[in-house]
Structures are given as structure tokens and as C-alpha cells.
Amino acid sequence: MSNQKISCKICGAQTHVIQRHLAEAHAGITLDQYRSLYPGEPVMSQAAIDLLEKKKREEQAAVKEEAVMEMTASAAVTKEEGASISALIPKGQLVPRPLHEVFDFGSIKAAMNKRGDPIPISVMTKHDQQDMVPAVSNNYVYNIDELKDVILAVEKNIPCYIWGHKGSGKSELWEQVCARTNRPMQRVQHTVNTEESHIVGQWTVKGGETVFELGPLPMAMINGWVYVADEYDFAMPSVLAVYQAVLEGKPLVIKEAPAELRVIKPHPNFRMAATGNTNGSGDETGLYQGTLIQNSANYDRFGMVINKQYMDKKAESKILQNTCAMNEPDADKMIDFATQIREAFAAGRMSDTVSPRTLIYASRIGVLRGSFRHGLNRSFISKLCKVDREVADGLAQRIFGAV
């Protein structure tokens, strides 16, 4: 570590910290005034900077240690008092870590709070259910404002519903939040044929005996998993009513279960989330056949609702470059095609829109076949009606040429 001091530009005195020297030798001059008088000049020596960073690291380590000790003590008290089965299942400890480090953002302003400080979030240490944690994807592109809201919902146990167009990254956002924070996750698909028993459990025969087998929801509640009800708006409103007490943070009551399994209390780490293509008021686009108008009282229990949009051109282009081995000009052309299709769809001139997922398929085919127009035809254009096929293929020809 360098111990060399810096010079005060006013008097030439040697010091490690200009602010302290100003207070002692130049009381009428503030640090901001000094900086305006001598722009670009250092105000702290390297030794002072290193010492400050060391203190910050020690403070962060102390905070983590204190949090772990508090949670360990709390768990011991709970056990002594006679906790429910869900509270006694071994879990990883939740420790605080900066959001920008967990999600590999670097020290960018958007990943900090309004004061410019790191945002502490809870990350679970290694536990005995690692197989339930999704894999980290380095190709997922985050909208940081949306991410902050989802993290807020997780931290404060606010039920969160994310809805938007196909391929906008709704389910994957939940997966990546769980992957980065090391939280076990249970994802359950919903259809019009989903029944209450598929969610809460049912009687079944095992080894010649009739036993009650818990469904994915009570299992998530007992074990403290993040439960993602996917395609939420495809299920019947009468079935989704089973979630209402859980969305309020209350125990799940399974009427058909035996006495010891009838009341399921949520583990402190349990979180309830959902995704869908609509906001529960019905499909306004005609794209999502099978979605249903939902019970407003059910959706009212989601404390946070996010309408997830497609990402911006630069971010979507970067995904194509990273996942499909494309150069930047070709990726940008693919995004130009998608943008014009999406605008035409929004204006009612096209019957379907194109998702990032479809663009990835089209790009992969295009790279391997040497024709991005061919890739678009195989992955998107061939799905359209005759009139729209002609419009979309003409657009692809203008952007990529006749090949």
C-alpha cells in the first residue's frame, strides 16, 4: 500500500485527506469549493482510499455476521417454544448482499438506491434443496426497475403477478431472481383442466395403502420455496380461489386431508408469485385463446402487478449476438424486423406479434442456413395467415434481401 501523501493546491502542505486539511488550515473553504477551484486534483491519497475501502468491507462483514447470528438465535428460540413442522425444516441462512453484486451489474447508478448507495438484498446460503434452485443464465437481460420491484416483493413478502406478451421473459425473470438469490422454486403450469386437487393434493394409493399426497402448493409452503403459478389466467376462476387465503399470508386449509395435514402454515421463506398473458380482465389482442376473465377479488390480493414489456432494441440485439453467434449488423436487422411487426400488430395491421424467443429460433436457423429471411419464414412467418405472410415476407425481403 502506498503511503505517499498528496499536496494541497492552496498552500502546498502534504496531507492524506484534503477535507480534513481544509478544516484545520483553510476554514473558509469547503471541499466543493476546492474541487471547483482545482478540478481533477485528488482529494484523498491512495493510502486513505485503501483504508476507507477496508473499513467498508469490515462493516459489511459485521452486518452479515450479525444477521446470521440473529437468525440463528431466532431459530433456536422458535424450536424451544415448539414451532410448526415448516419452521423446523433445515434451511440455508439468509444473508445480506448488494443487489449490483448478486446480479453482476457492476457499480452502475441504476442498480443503486436514490442516494447512490448499494441496495442490500437477501441471498440464501447453500442448503439441502439446491436441486430446486434454477440455473443462472448470463444471457438474461434485466429491466433494472422491474427487477427492483420484484426483489421488493420477495423481500417484503408481497404477492407479485407479472403479465405481458409471450416471450417477454416473465417466468424467466422469476427463475433468475431465484437462481441469483439461491432460493428453491416450484413452477406450476395452469390450464383450463387444472383442478384444486392438482394444486393442494389428493388421496392416492401407494404400496397398497391409501395415503394423502400433498400437492405443489402445500409442499412449497412447508419447505419455504418460491411458488410461481404460471399461466395463471388459463385456470378457472373457481379453482384459483384456492389461492386466496395464501395470497393474504394465511394458512392453507385442505378440507379433504387428514387432520395432521389439514392446516398448512407458510414457512417464513415461502413466497407466492404468478405470471400470465393478461391482467385478468380478458384477452384484448386475440392472441391468447384459452385465457379467461378472472375474478377481480382474486387479483386484488396480488399486492404488486407488473406489466412486462419487450426489452429495448440494444438489449434484444445483444441477446441475439450472445446466443446465436450473430454479428451486430445482422442482429440489429432482425430487431428492425421485429419492431416493425410489433408496431403493425399494435396498430391492428397484423394478427400476431413476434417474441424474443421466436427471434432466437429464427436467428439460429438463419445462421446455420445462411439466410435470415429463411429463418424468419420457418420460425414466424409460416405461422401467419396468407395476407399477413405476404406482408411479413415482403418486410423480411426488404431488410435481408431476396436470399
Report CA-CA distances (Å) from 359 to 30, 140, 152, 202, 310: 56, 15, 31, 41, 12
Average of pLDDT values for 105-118? 92
In degrees to the nearest 10, what's the CA dihedral of 332, 334, 336, 338? -140
> What pLDDT is recorded for position 379?
95
Q: Which of 340, 344, 337, 351 is nearest to 383 (CA)?
A: 351
- Weakest-pLDDT range from 22-31, 122-131, 231-240, 356-365: 22-31
Q: How far apart are CA 329 and CA 204, in angstroms?
A: 57
Average of pLDDT values for 130-153? 93
> What pLDDT is recorded for position 215?
96
> What pLDDT is recorded for position 36?
80
DSSP conformation class of 268 = T
> What pLDDT is recorded for position 86?
47
Contact 148, 104 (CB under 8 A): no
Q: How far apart are CA 7 and CA 73, in angstroms?
A: 51
Given a cut of 60, is residue 340 above it in pLDDT? yes
Average of pLDDT values for 340-359? 89
Cell (9 digits) for 209: 395403502
Report CA-CA distances (Å) from 269 to 63, 173, 243, 256: 20, 19, 17, 26
- Residue 274 sits at the vertex; the CA angle it makes with 272 and 280, to the nearest 5 degrees, is 130
pLDDT over 90 for what percent of the chain?
62
> What pLDDT is recorded for position 65?
55
220-247 residue pLDDT tens: 999 999 999 999 999 999 999 999 999 9
Q: Which of 35, 39, 32, 43 is nearest to 7 (CA)?
A: 43
- The pTM for the full model equals 0.69
Buried b (16+ CB within 10 A) or exposed e, 74-106: ebeeeeeeeeeebbebebbbbbbbbbbebbebe
> Which burial class, exposed, middle or buried, applies to 373 when counting CB atoms under 10 A from its CB (0-12, 13-18, 19+)?
buried
Q: Which amino acid is at 234?
A: F
56-96 residue pLDDT tens: 777 766 655 555 555 444 444 444 444 454 444 445 789 99
Is 186 in a helix, a strand, or coil?
strand
Nearest 5°: phi and psi at 288? -115, 70
Cell (9 digits) for 369: 442456413
13-38 residue pLDDT tens: 999 999 889 888 888 888 888 888 88
Average of pLDDT values for 324-351? 91
> What pLDDT is recorded for position 364?
95
171-181 residue pLDDT tens: 999 999 999 99
Terminal C-alpha separation, the chain:
62
Residue-wise DSSP of 17-66:
BHHHHHHHH-TT--HHHHHHHSTT--SB-HHHHHHHHHHHHHHHHHHHHH
Q: Which amino acid is at 282?
A: G
The total of other beta-carbon atoms located within 10 Å of residue 142's CB is 21
Indicate the average pLDDT of the chain: 88
Most confident of 35-44, 58-67, 285-294: 35-44
Report CA-CA distances (Å) from 328 to 101, 117, 148, 321: 28, 34, 29, 6
Cell (9 digits) for 86: 415448516
Helix or strand run (H / E) with residue 6: strand 6-7
Average of pLDDT values for 192-200? 95
pLDDT over 70 for what percent of the chain?
91
> What pLDDT is recorded for position 140?
87
Cell (9 digits) for 135: 440455473
Cell (9 digits) for 245: 387465503
